[in-house]
Structure 1
């Protein structure tokens, strides 16, 4: 008598979308914790013996390091994800991110370990970058490949929700810990608490992620033995145009988000003071609204196409950035909140909502993980990773006026607009 082991239950489109969102939320919580700490904590604790401007540049430099590691994470995960499977890579990415983030919470500061402290900070940021480089492509494809035709924009946007949810969680925890502990205790020890909480969140994420399965479209490919031997090489050889276009589609989207949610925290200190929480509050409000606006834009892209929201968002981003700087310099907290909400939820999310579906649909199943990840992460490096660093330098070059920053962003916006114009419209296509 033989015993039949029941097959694992198939992952439904809804469970794939929710599972991707929860896992990505935890990944982005960890990544955005670093971004928030860069603006509020790392300069005095890890770069205390330099001028204020140099300390800001050094802190944002370590922030950029994480973006620099993301293409390497995309290459490694793309190879494994297109050959072994999406789920296996996602589990590894979540573990790596959790270990790196928790370790930041126990790092010695410069006062305790000297130059070793910022050196270790850079190493752990590199590990975070590798993890995020691996995360997005797999999570996006898990949602998009499981989704029913005509709803890939909506279901793919659930992966994007992880960004808003992660940002809301990260800024909310930072704000709560800072408020409860007070500024002195926060700078002394309490800043570590949000990083240490990552361990608990990662355990929850692993329990959920381990229950998911790869989509039938990939499993059929794998069963047939037709997976690409070197998927990264193949996608660069056969579909270089789509890699370039997806890179361009990322440029103004990620730059706008980083400038409004990370660099803004530093810029607002010039007007509202170092102890002000107006920036954190504005980012939390925008992140909460993003839980609705992101899937709304994804749904609209299912009805009207991926390209129209992107064309709008790329050019409207210039207006949004101008409005933010005018609001910040006005000294009105309400104006700042409204400007950030407009820039993030109306403008940025118009591009971010349809992004997972559009990037996934542009590539074949054999190389989809590699192609989508490469475009996504290379664009993040060229734009998002260096945006705060470039903005800080341009502010100095502009004698404290932000208009050089706007000009720099306008150049990125034009590149994204051109990329959206030339990218293939895919919302009515099937997955090849």
Structure 2
């Protein structure tokens, strides 16, 4: 493969390139905004959706509901990835952002446990299924769209920037939550203001929709269509020779990365909000917000470096570093939280944010390079989501490790060590996944 492919795709930035980048940044921001909202206010939703009980157990049940529903993301990726390869990336993106925005906002209409009992939790799960399906479709078309509009020399940086939209969305959620807590108080949030919080998801959805309605289809897909190279069954082709080995290698790699991701987004808030942590919900949220800012810059930095060092090489080096520092990072976090030292806890969260989210910065371009243009939406979308099949059950793995293996190390009400082990397992899987795959830097995105 050649290493200088400036002629592959746009040679320079255009208005359409900027629109494509902003569109996917906002789409991924919306996905993270919804996800982080669920995970960050899990203690609040536990009060809304469950009867009074163990706060940690009820919080786990909320996180489990989210974990359960993200299993439907691969279904969304399969459906919309196939459509993205058949009808075009742009059409897909209009449908997915509409669906994602509306279903997420519907959470605001949920009845509480006090009103309808356990039906409240059942309806919550159903809404999360809808969110999962549209979110799975969002990156199936969105990542190829952004990458196919990006000039070669900028692909690493833009990949990190687009993927960084996820961390930015998490940061935005935390900032908005802080505003809501200061305005309504925790009691007000538990009583009624949580509904207003979910309605805010409509704001990025409307902006993204307006941009997508004004966009053009990518030149690469337009060429495929003009040359009559649209596949009859792009999704099914993933499981046929010679592509299925590529797919399963990507699936292994993505499984490890989902362990990375949830060790930050799911359990850092949990560690900060439960004893021996002495932080209030507001303080915990402020610290977590800083971690998401660090995660954003980590993704951008990692994506940029892969354009110089190589995707595979940097991911392998990072996996080794991650395995080594996991336990010290999370011990530092728990220790800082237990003595109420904001500085120590914040430093720990910054390191965790960079380590856990950095490798995600190469995902839009790496997965775009792993699959041919005629099956790119299917391959990228389902390959991305396939990591959920094993990685998405984090809400079971950590409680099981906590209860049966590491409770004496964790302490009965905190999961810091179990979360560190989850990240270490992820590092091993990421390392193996990358070792089995090729270096993709320099791969042409055109068919």
**Structure 2 length normalisation: TM-score?**
0.89
Matches within 5 A, 1:407-426: 407-426=421-440
Matches within 5 A, 1:170-319: 170-238=173-241, 239-268=243-272, 269-273=274-278, 275-319=280-324
CA contact (8 A) 1:70 1:129 kept: yes
1:59 is the counterpart of 2:68? no
Partners in 2 of 1:354 and 1:365 — Cα distance?
18
Give ranges in structure 1 of 5+ residues lacking alignment. Answer: 1-9
CA RMSD of superposed structures (Å): 2.0
Partners in 1 of 2:282 and 2:409 — Cα distance?
22
- What is the SS of the residue equivalent to 2:109? coil
1:42 is the counterpart of 2:51? no
Relative to structure 1, the CA distance from residue 115 to residue 123 in structure 2 (aligned partners, 3 Å threshold; closer, same or farther) is: same
Partners in 2 of 1:287 and 1:408 — Cα distance?
19
- What is the SS of the residue equivalent to 1:137? helix
1:382 is the counterpart of 2:390? yes
User: Per-residue displacement from partner, 1:211-257 (whole Å, max 9, x unpaired)?
Assistant: 22221111111222221111110111131112112122223322222
User: Per-residue displacement from partner, 1:353-395 (whole Å, max 9, x unpaired)?
Assistant: 1111111101001111111111211113421x22233212322
**For structure 1, which segment, 329-338 or 316-325, has the greater mean C-alpha deviation from structure 2 after superposition?**
316-325
Residue 161 (structure 1) aligns with: 164
Relative to structure 1, the CA distance from residue 278 to residue 401 in structure 2 (aligned partners, 3 Å threshold; closer, same or farther) is: farther
Residue 25 (structure 1) aligns with: 29
**For structure 1, which segment, 130-139 or 151-160, has the greater mean C-alpha deviation from structure 2 after superposition?**
151-160
1:146 is the counterpart of 2:149? yes
Alignment coverage as a number of residue pairs: 420
1:351 to 334, 359, 362: 359
1:82 is the counterpart of 2:85? yes
Residue 360 (structure 1) aligns with: 368
Give ranges in structure 2 of 5+ residues lacking alignment. Answer: 1-13, 411-416
1:405 is displaced (CA, Å) by: 4.3
User: Per-residue displacement from partner, 1:141-180 (whole Å, max 9, x unpaired)?
Assistant: 1111111123222222232021011101111111210122
Partners in 2 of 1:185 and 1:86 — Cα distance?
42
User: Per-residue displacement from partner, 1:83-112 (whole Å, max 9, x unpaired)?
Assistant: 001111111111111111111012111111
Relative to structure 1, the CA distance from residue 89 to residue 194 in structure 2 (aligned partners, 3 Å threshold; closer, same or farther) is: same
CA contact (8 A) 1:104 1:121 kept: yes
Residue 6 (structure 1) aligns with: none
1:336 to 341, 345, 348: 345
**Structure 1 length normalisation: TM-score?**
0.91
Residue 7 (structure 1) aligns with: none
- What is the SS of the residue equivalent to 1:401? helix
- Hey, which bits of structure 1, 4+ residues long, moved more than 6 A? none
User: Per-residue displacement from partner, 1:60-94 (whole Å, max 9, x unpaired)?
Assistant: 21011221111101100111011001111111111
Relative to structure 1, the CA distance from residue 414 to residue 291 in structure 2 (aligned partners, 3 Å threshold; closer, same or farther) is: closer
- What is the SS of the residue equivalent to 1:236? coil
